[in-house]
């Protein structure tokens, strides 16, 4: 082995060791000693990204993967065999139920579109696995509740992919700004996303390619006419399969704000918006939306626009926590604390680990600024499994953040302010909106809420 490779190996071990140290000696040792058998459901962009981050930090063996796209499945199998220490090619499946029937998995990673999160996660839990599921937890509130109930009933660890809780500079901002009291009295939080990320196409109906099981891809959702491969961004253009940009982007920053400030369920949720500008697209998700999450003596507002420019080019997707002594702005690349008066500004950049993990530089479509956070999120997940504790983005926390964003969409749809009672699991004095907490399923699929 070359000296260069020796140095890289040293840096990689050092980086992982630093992250493990935060977990505590016993948990860190257990994570490194225990080889887990892993399965992946959904091997597209983030399914592959998540499993690659897991392989980087723990001695896992990926034994099974599943996808309805045969081409994507084959590519993921090859990539995983190149990445994992054993060099073995994982078994491949087109139906997650067949994969889970083997009942030989310790962990299942779920990287499917949103409309498949609940059924796959609950099935994995019932098969005895711990689950890492991407955000948002579900496409309706009842699905998300059922995921939480299944995790608790079967005593499984479920980590949600809201990895801002494991992002090094977010952790630093929470400790050195929020908990240090530099903000003073916090009474308002702004969340925003001004990325031009909405798919604005209107392709004609097309033949379904032989390598894609479109019927299975659609699953419990309404069967839309096939127009193009739904992968990566196209499925997010439709509320049948997603919760729009609020469910995709707001959930991250809303969850981060709740975590930093110790917030639970909002008292009330209101939202307005719609398709105001990009009317030529087949997409039915909003291109403009504002939502307000109301707490005692605190409001959290969300705004997205997929057109125009960002008011602050440095923070086009961000959270801004406003206190009477200063302001904290944070995004995936850095954070800035700006004091009111004579205090000292603080700036901290994202932690990149390019030299420690050189394979990051050649991985297709990797989000480099999120890689260090995802690695730490995986380590936190593994430590919770070993210690029997709750991970930092436990399913209950993911449920609160996800369901709140789903409710924001329902508030926009109904034109009413909604008040959700998490004990009774119902909206107060609003039977019409309560009926919308559960989406209808396409037969023969059965909704997990019964």
Contact of 105 with 63, CB cutoff 8 Å: yes
The pLDDT of residue 26 is above 80: no
> Per CATH, the architecture of 3-165+357-394 is what?
3-Layer(aba) Sandwich (3.40)
Contact of 90 with 83, CB cutoff 8 Å: no
Contact of 39 with 50, CB cutoff 8 Å: no
Q: What is the pLDDT of residue 3?
A: 40
Q: What is the pLDDT of residue 30?
A: 67
Mean pLDDT of 377-401: 97
Mean pLDDT of 30-44: 89
Residue 412: which pLDDT band, with cuts at 50, 70 and 90?
A: very high
The per-residue pLDDT for range 198-210, each reduced to its tens digit, is 999 999 999 999 9
The per-residue pLDDT for range 163-184, each reduced to its tens digit, is 999 999 999 999 999 999 999 9
| Sheet of strand 91-93: strand arrangement | 91-93, 61-66, 37-41, 107-110, 130-133, 158-160
The pLDDT of residue 232 is above 90: no
The per-residue pLDDT for range 51-66, each reduced to its tens digit, is 999 999 999 999 999 9
More confident residue, 4 or 135: 135
Number of C-alpha atoms within 13 angstroms, CB side, residue 103? 4
Torsions phi, psi of 243, nearest 5?
Answer: -120, 30
Quickly tell me which residue has 């193009």 as its tokens: 228
Contact of 113 with 43, CB cutoff 8 Å: no
For the chain, what percent of residues have pLDDT higher than 90? 90
The per-residue pLDDT for range 251-281, each reduced to its tens digit, is 999 999 999 999 999 999 999 999 999 999 9
Q: Where in the chain is the domain with CATH 3.40.50.720?
A: 3-165+357-394
The pLDDT of residue 303 is above 90: yes
Q: What is the pLDDT of residue 150?
A: 98
Cβ contacts of 36 within 8 Å, gap of 6 or more: 58, 60, 61, 106, 107, 382, 385
Q: What is the pLDDT of residue 1?
A: 33
CATH code, residues 168-217+225-353+398-437: 3.30.360.10
Q: Where in the chain is the domain with CATH 3.30.360.10?
A: 168-217+225-353+398-437
Q: What is the pLDDT of residue 32?
A: 72
- Count the residues in the chain: 450
């Amino acid at each position: 082995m070359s000296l260069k490779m020796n140095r890289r190996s040293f840096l990689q071990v050092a980086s992982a060791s630093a992250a493990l140290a935060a977990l505590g000696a016993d948990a860190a040792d257990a994570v490194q000693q225990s080889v887990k058998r892993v399965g992946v459901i959904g091997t597209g962009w983030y399914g592959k990204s998540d499993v690659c981050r897991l392989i980087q930090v723990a001695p896992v063996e990926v034994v099974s993967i599943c996808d309805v796209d045969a081409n994507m499945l084959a590519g993921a199998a090859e990539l995983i065999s190149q990445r994992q220490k054993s060099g073995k090619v994982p078994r491949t499946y087109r139906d997650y139920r067949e994969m889970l029937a083997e009942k030989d998995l310790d962990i299942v990673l779920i990287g499917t579109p949103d409309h498949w999160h609940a059924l796959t996660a609950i099935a994995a839990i019932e098969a005895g696995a711990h689950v890492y599921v991407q955000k948002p937890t579900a496409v309706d509130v009842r699905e998300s509740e059922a995921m939480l109930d299944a995790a608790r009933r079967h005593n499984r660890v479920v980590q949600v992919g809201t990895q801002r809780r494991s992002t090094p500079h977010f952790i630093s901002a929470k400790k050195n700004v929020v908990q240090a009291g530099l903000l003073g009295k916090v009474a308002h939080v702004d969340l925003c996303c001004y990325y031009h990320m909405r798919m604005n196409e209107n392709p004609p109906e097309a033949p379904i390619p032989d390598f894609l099981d479109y019927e299975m891809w659609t699953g419990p959702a309404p069967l839309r006419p096939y127009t193009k491969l739904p992968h990566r961004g196209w499925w997010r253009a439709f509320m049948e399969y997603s919760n729009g940009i609020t469910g995709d982007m707001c959930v991250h920053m809303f969850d981060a704000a709740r975590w930093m400030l110790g917030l639970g369920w909002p008292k009330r949720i209101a939202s307005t918006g719609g398709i105001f500008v990009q009317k030529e697209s087949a997409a039915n998700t909003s291109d403009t939306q504002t939502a307000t999450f109301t707490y005692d003596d605190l409001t959290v507002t969300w705004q997205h626009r997929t057109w125009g420019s960002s008011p602050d080019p440095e923070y086009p997707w961000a959270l801004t926590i406003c206190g009477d002594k200063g302001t904290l702005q944070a995004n995936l690349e850095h954070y800035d604390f700006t004091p009111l008066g004579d205090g000292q500004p603080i700036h901290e950049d994202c932690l990149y680990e390019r030299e420690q993990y050189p394979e990051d530089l050649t991985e297709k479509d990797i989000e480099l600024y999120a890689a260090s956070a995802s690695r730490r999120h995986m380590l936190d997940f593994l430590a919770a499994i070993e210690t029997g504790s709750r991970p930092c983005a436990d399913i209950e926390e993911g449920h609160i953040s996800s369901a709140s964003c789903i409710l924001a969409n329902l508030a926009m749809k109904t034109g009413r302010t909604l008040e959700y009672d998490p004990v009774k699991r119902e909206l107060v004095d609003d039977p019409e909106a309560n009926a919308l907490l559960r989406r209808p399923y396409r037969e023969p699929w059965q909704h997990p809420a019964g």
